[in-house]
A and B are shown apart, each in its own frame.
Chain A
Amino acid sequence: MDIQHLNVKFFVEHPEVVDLDPFLTIFNRWIQEQVCDDLLIDVADYRHVVAGPGVVLIGHQANYSLDNTDNRSGFLYNRKARLDGSVQDRLRQAVRSALLACRRLEEDPLLQGALRFSGQEVRVLINDRLIAPNTEAMLLALQPELHAFFDGLYGGAEYTISHPSDPRERFTVHVQASAPFDITTLLDAVNIP
């Protein structure tokens, strides 16, 4: 199964305190400081769009954004370039990149600790309708891989996987753990091969 173009979104704990203005500065600083291996190119500002992509850091391999799609504020990692390895490897790389960015934001001095992401819920989608149509068949095919990955990520804790079934949407799963997890705990889990 050639699963590519994974998108991973972690939601903020207190969306009511999120102010998008500082993210223009933060993402521009990430470009200045080349904070990751990806080629970071530019920052796109969509704060004026209701329930939109917010502030987007455009990269060559991936886009990073403080996203407000569906009026739910969170950090979205949108992988554009091909990932190598097994499906497990690709899920791990995408989720790890998202978590690293979340932790970087939580620690950003400009935000003064006001931003916290919840590890309890994560949305994973595949941004290519041809390789991954949003169907029950696709869910069935991918489910073993998803369980293998999230069993490891949540360290055996209970979680549910739900799947919005609108065929017009991209293939998406919502994963909800029964207990709270913070970003650092998940990063530790995802760093274990």
Chain B
Amino acid sequence: MKVSNGRWRERLLDQMPPALAREIDVYETEIELRKQGKLDEKVFAETRLRRGAYGQRYDNGQRHDGRQTRHLDYPSAGLTKGPNTLWDAPGMQRIKIPFGGLTTRQLDVLADLTEEYSDGIAHVTTRQDFQLHFVHIDDTPSLMRRLAAVGITTREACGNAVRNVTACPYSGVCSDETFDVTPYAHACARFLLGHPDTQDFGRKFKIAFSGCKHDACALTTIHDMGAIAATRVEDGRVRRGFELYVGGGLGSVPYQAKLFDAFVPEEELLPIAQAISRVFARLGEKKNRARARIKFLVNNLGMEEFKRLILEERASLPPDPTWTAHLDRLHAHEETPLKPASSLNGTAHSEGFRRWVETNVRPQKQPGYVVVTVTLPLGDITAGQLRGLVDIARRFVNDTLRTTVEQNFVLRWVSEADLPEMYAALDRIGLGQSGAGTIVDVVACPGTDTCKLGIASSRGLAGELRKRLAEQSVCLDRAIQDLRIKVSGCFNSCGQHHIADIGFYGVSRHIGGYTVPHFQVILGGQWTENAGSYGLAMGAVPSKRIPEVVERITRRYVAERRNGESFQEFVKRIGKSEVKTMLDDLTHVPDHSVDASFYSDWRDPREFTTGDMGVGECAGEVVSQVEFGLAAAEREVFEAQVLLDRGDAQQAGHQAYVSMIHAAQALLRTKMAEITNDPDRIVNDFRTHFYDTERFFDPFAGGKFAQYLFLAHQRAASPYTPESAHHRIEEAQLFIEAAYSCYGRMSTATVPVDGSR
């Protein structure tokens, strides 16, 4: 789209590392080949994904405008950049920032790109990346060249590859850390980038580094590979290494990473990562994307066998000097403060400054210095604010900025006495908001704003919660100020709802011929201990009633918490049944004629429907029976959760399986007059009518959720551990959601349109 696109290559040629320049040339050639029809659309899709150029909502050329589905008539209508993805449709560009580390020069360029190629907003993600939205594919090579000229690559930011390597943003300045993991994260990112052994994965692979075990800053347990700094004394000498975890991941069914080795010596970190990559590429699932993450491989093999295979692979690797080259340059990442250490004197300061210091300032292990968190609402920052941040960084700290997994920035090495001036400077550019890491600092994935997979408006809900909570923040009880809220637009967990005290993910329900946005309520996830445990679903509540959910739960927590009781302990003590009772009345959706606001999502005035639906009497009768069955299945899976809480894993797992059978049985009512109670026949009939016909297939996840049923049925007689029961419950929850969606799609397709709505 930009008229300057043809000129950036020549302008920047001597500023780009040759390998990166070549890589972008190749990409540009692929773009040209695709335009000429000489490159298959599926191949091109993967190639652009591996450069971070992602699809975005409505890129299939259709958008429901609140009244009808409207065709978006792009100029190059016949040309696609992937299956069902139109060339001219705006896309998202993800920009990898290893360990979140940025220089001011890089930030300056990001600001320029935000203005020139995007809609003026840069978005910080939950994995320390940047994302620019509404970018035209033709502009991406220029954008990448400008990034390459300041040492940033977008390579493997998406696709089946090693994604951004994240790390604790306090590495090197945190008093709790064992040692600074920054150089190791950097070396790992460089070593695996474009490595031949990482090019044949069935799915993405995420890595995180943490300097300590007990804080949450790096979230190692939710990663495919998580490395926690550790030391060991051998022969009187302190050796550095890592407590290494493998096989974690959120996604639709969350898994906690399992301990691979309590101590991998520093010189073995990269070869072990390479061996893991090889084994994952060789043995990981390739055809069924739903089970292709390494967590499934680890789970299927068991850690003992997985580790045996990795060590065997490690032994066979040809030696590579890169494995240890970084160990001689560990000090290269040490930062030099711009200002001498100082202390904040006792002068009186404003209330705003005092609140900001309380939530956004954290002492460093180096006396006289602090880390300042710059709170970004929903992870968003304007180009002007980025430039303002550059000026502030150059004035107070220089190149010691990092992004965080809570979608904020941190400025490290701030001399304490500079805090009042820094606060004033941040406030002048609209970045002086307090509340970092508190209940106000709501995290959200892009959801229906821009993501093709979004079901409900995660950013809309997060924005609303943030606004309401910020208004009350001064009077919020201390007990609830430190809670975390995280919102995902769908079950895929990009908003990390599983590890929040209060989490939500978007779902929908069909009520009276309309589709109504809802959020599943997830309570009791653990943020600390590197995301120590995951929360469980409490039931779906209409989107518009979620603020009441937050208010009700937090109010009760404040009123009934016992001395020092954490939110998780509180939820556990009162029990899920009680929580469900507490929220029961909030699940009610008023009739459309009574309150139409429930039928649109937060910050989106369009009616949340799939078309102009009418209500047929025959369909209506079937509806009630099917919905009844689905509601019963939903109740059963909830009971399974309660059983698991009571420690009865066997019964919990079985009950979850039964709930899936009943959901399948409910759907079969739309196809068969005689409904059997025999699980074998239900599964067979379900396979015939819903799986083989692909009727049950999710538009994006395909037959993934049906396979949960088949697997559960196949293993119905197997014993359950607490972990496997937990997984079965998660799968049952998702299967039931998929059954609701399937039924919704069928209703939409079969109900005659009367045009009255």
- B466 at interface (Cβ–Cβ under 8 A)? yes
In the assembled complex, which residues on chain B have CB atoms less than 8 Å from the CB atom of A170?
115-116
Asked whether B3 lies within 8 Å of A53 as measured between CB atoms, the reply is: no
**Closest Cβ neighbor of B604 among chain A residues:** A24
Instruction: Specify which of B2, B65, B90, B466 is in contact with A32 (CB 8 Å cutoff).
Output: B65
A56→B8 CA distance, assembly (Å): 28
**Which of the 9-residue segments A96-104, A128-136, A182-190 touches chain B?**
A128-136
A48→B407 CA distance, assembly (Å): 14
Instruction: Specify which of A42, A70, A168 is in contact with B63 (CB 8 Å cutoff).
Output: A42
Asked whether B385 lies within 8 Å of A44 as measured between CB atoms, the reply is: no
**Which of the 9-residue segments B70-78, B221-229, B244-252, B666-674 touches chain A?**
B70-78
Asked whether A28 lies within 8 Å of B605 as measured between CB atoms, the reply is: yes
Which A1-52 residues sit within 8 Å CB-CB of chain B?
2, 4-5, 24-25, 28, 31-32, 39, 41-52
- A163 at interface (Cβ–Cβ under 8 A)? no
Asked whether B72 lies within 8 Å of A48 as measured between CB atoms, the reply is: no
Interface size on A, residues (CB 8 A): 39
Instruction: Specify which of B108, B121, B460 is in contact with A52 (CB 8 Å cutoff).
Output: B121
Instruction: Please give the residue numbers on chain A whose beta carbons come within 8 Å of chain B beta carbons, in ascending order.
Output: 2, 4-5, 24-25, 28, 31-32, 39, 41-53, 56, 58, 60, 63, 69-71, 80-82, 127-131, 168, 170
Asked whether A42 lies within 8 Å of B57 as measured between CB atoms, the reply is: yes
Asked whether B134 lies within 8 Å of A58 as measured between CB atoms, the reply is: yes
- B287 at interface (Cβ–Cβ under 8 A)? no
Which of A49, A56, A82 is most buried by chain B, counting CB atoms within 10 A of its CB?
A49
Asked whether B7 lies within 8 Å of A130 as measured between CB atoms, the reply is: yes
Asked whether A48 lies within 8 Å of B74 as measured between CB atoms, the reply is: no
Interface size on B, residues (CB 8 A): 53
As a 0/1 sequence over residues 100 to 137 of chain B, the CB contacts with chain A under 8 angstroms (1 = contact) are: 00000000100110011001110000000000011010
In the assembled complex, which residues on chain B have CB atoms less than 8 Å from the CB atom of A44?
119, 121, 133-134, 449
Asked whether A129 lies within 8 Å of B3 as measured between CB atoms, the reply is: no
Which B32-78 residues sit within 8 Å CB-CB of chain A?
57-58, 63, 65-67, 70, 72-75
- B622 at interface (Cβ–Cβ under 8 A)? no
Asked whether A32 lies within 8 Å of B430 as measured between CB atoms, the reply is: no
Asked whether B430 lies within 8 Å of A50 as measured between CB atoms, the reply is: yes
- B380 at interface (Cβ–Cβ under 8 A)? yes
- B387 at interface (Cβ–Cβ under 8 A)? yes
- B501 at interface (Cβ–Cβ under 8 A)? no
As a 0/1 sequence over residues 4 to 41 of chain B, the CB contacts with chain A under 8 angstroms (1 = contact) are: 10011001000000000000000000000000000000
A128→B112 CA distance, assembly (Å): 9
Asked whether B463 lies within 8 Å of A48 as measured between CB atoms, the reply is: yes
Instruction: Please give the residue numbers on chain B whose beta carbons come within 8 Å of chain A beta carbons, in ascending order.
Output: 1-4, 7-8, 11, 57-58, 63, 65-67, 70, 72-75, 88-90, 108, 111-112, 115-116, 119-121, 133-134, 136, 377-378, 380-382, 384-385, 387, 429-431, 449, 459-460, 463, 466-467, 603-606
Asked whether A51 lies within 8 Å of B430 as measured between CB atoms, the reply is: yes
Given contacts A28-B606, A41-B58, contact A52 B120 (CB under 8 A): yes
**Closest Cβ neighbor of A45 among chain B residues:** B603
A53→B512 CA distance, assembly (Å): 38
A27→B472 CA distance, assembly (Å): 31
CB distance from B133 to the nearest CB of A (A): 7
CB distance from A189 to the nearest CB of B (A): 28
A131→B116 CA distance, assembly (Å): 12
Instruction: Specify which of B1, B108, B604 is in contact with A81 (CB 8 Å cutoff).
Output: B1
**Closest Cβ neighbor of A27 among chain B residues:** B605
Given contacts A25-B605, A44-B119, A60-B75, contact A32 B3 (CB under 8 A): no
A82→B115 CA distance, assembly (Å): 17
Asked whether A31 lies within 8 Å of B70 as measured between CB atoms, the reply is: yes
A46→B122 CA distance, assembly (Å): 11
A2→B429 CA distance, assembly (Å): 34
Instruction: Specify which of A2, A24, A39, A53 is in contact with B119 (CB 8 Å cutoff).
Output: A53
- Sample 27 A-B pairs with CB under 8 A, ordered by A number: A2-B3, A5-B3, A28-B66, A28-B606, A32-B70, A39-B72, A39-B73, A39-B74, A41-B89, A42-B63, A45-B460, A48-B463, A48-B467, A49-B380, A51-B384, A51-B429, A52-B120, A53-B382, A63-B119, A63-B134, A69-B120, A69-B382, A69-B384, A82-B1, A130-B4, A168-B108, A168-B112
CB distance from B109 to the nearest CB of A (A): 10
In the assembled complex, which residues on chain B have CB atoms less than 8 Å from the CB atom of A60?
74-75, 88
Asked whether A48 lies within 8 Å of B380 as measured between CB atoms, the reply is: yes
In the assembled complex, which residues on chain A have CB atoms less than 8 Å from the CB atom of B65?
28, 31-32
CB distance from B584 to the nearest CB of A (A): 32
Asked whether A51 lies within 8 Å of B3 as measured between CB atoms, the reply is: no
Instruction: Specify which of B4, B11, B136, B382 is in contact with A49 (CB 8 Å cutoff).
Output: B382
A94→B224 CA distance, assembly (Å): 50
A64→B136 CA distance, assembly (Å): 17
A41→B381 CA distance, assembly (Å): 23
Asked whether A51 lies within 8 Å of B382 as measured between CB atoms, the reply is: yes
In the assembled complex, which residues on chain A have CB atoms less than 8 Å from the CB atom of B67?
32
Which of B57, B65, B90, B604 is most buried by chain A, counting CB atoms within 10 A of its CB?
B65
In the assembled complex, which residues on chain B have CB atoms less than 8 Å from the CB atom of A71?
430
